[in-house]
């Protein structure tokens, strides 16, 4: 179940989405300022800042220093944009995205046990170290978590799997911080990544799949 903070956060994202529609903003247009959004939504500026950061991670907006925040051009990000709008409005859609991501990652780790290259295995190990360091400093390793799963899928050497997975997982970036922020969850997540990595390194397919399934189940949000 989402925390109350998480629910408020998603509500702010929905409201920003509605403002973009109401103001008839399109690609290249400038969004209202952080202060104006906070006033219109009647929330704190820090909450607006977090919501804008999530939209930026989805490549839906771009912040230009000294100029403001602008809606991104369409094109390669169109699928991510559609999915973002979809999941913000519908709980079933969020479940479908999570389920599809799970299917892709499980098949990717099967293939990775046979095909993973040394530089990818080295990167997975490095990301585990970096996540542990960040956690020890009291930070939540959101980027390291995302990059671990990205490298895991890439280790399948199947570019189509990766290209389908990438826009799906952009959604997860929004909820990931809330998931990892649950008490004790970050430490368990890092340990689960380590078990997945060791199974992949050893080429133990069933162990890797089992570890990944366990990890994804524990990471539900």
**Domain spans of the chain, in order of start:** 4-71, 90-218
- Say yes or no to pLDDT of 78 above 60: no
Q: Using CA atoms, how far apart are residues 105 and 9, in angstroms rounded to an integer?
A: 27
Name the DSSP class of 183: T
What residues contact residue 44 under an 8 Å CB cut-off, 6+ apart?
38
- Say yes or no to pLDDT of 208 above 50: yes
The verdict on pTM exceeding 0.85 is no
Predicted local distance difference test score (pLDDT) of residue 142: 83
Domain 90-218 in CATH: superfamily?
GntR ligand-binding domain-like (1.20.120.530)
Full DSSP string of 24-83? T--TTPBPPPHHHHHHHHTS-HHHHHHHHHHHHHTTSEEEETTTEEEEPP-STTHHHHHH
What's the CATH fold of domain 4-71? Arc Repressor Mutant, subunit A (1.10.10)
Digit-coded pLDDT (tens) for 114-126 = 999 999 999 999 9
């Amino acid at each position: 179940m989402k925390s109350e903070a998480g629910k408020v956060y998603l509500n702010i994202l929905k409201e920003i989405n509605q403002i973009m529609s109401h103001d008839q903003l399109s690609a290249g247009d400038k969004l209202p300022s952080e202060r104006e959004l906070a006033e219109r939504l009647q929330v704190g500026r820090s909450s607006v800042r977090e919501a804008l950061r999530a939209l930026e991670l989805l490549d839906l907006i771009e912040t230009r220093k000294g100029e403001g925040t602008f809606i991104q051009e369409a094109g390669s990000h169109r699928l991510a944009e559609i999915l973002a709008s979809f999941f913000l409005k519908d709980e079933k859609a969020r479940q479908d995205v999570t389920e599809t991501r799970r299917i892709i990652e499980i098949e990717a780790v099967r293939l990775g046990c046979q095909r993973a290259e040394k530089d990818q295995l080295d990167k997975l190990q490095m990301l585990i170290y970096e996540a542990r360091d960040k956690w020890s400093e009291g930070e939540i390793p959101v980027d390291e978590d995302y990059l671990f799963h990205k490298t895991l899928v890439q280790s399948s050497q199947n570019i189509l799997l990766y290209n389908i997975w990438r826009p799906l997982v952009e959604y997860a970036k929004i909820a990931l911080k809330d998931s990892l922020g649950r008490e004790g969850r970050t430490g368990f997540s890092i340990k689960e990544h380590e078990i997945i990595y060791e199974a992949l390194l050893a080429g133990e397919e069933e162990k890797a799949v089992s570890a990944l399934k366990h990890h994804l189940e524990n990471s539900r949000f």
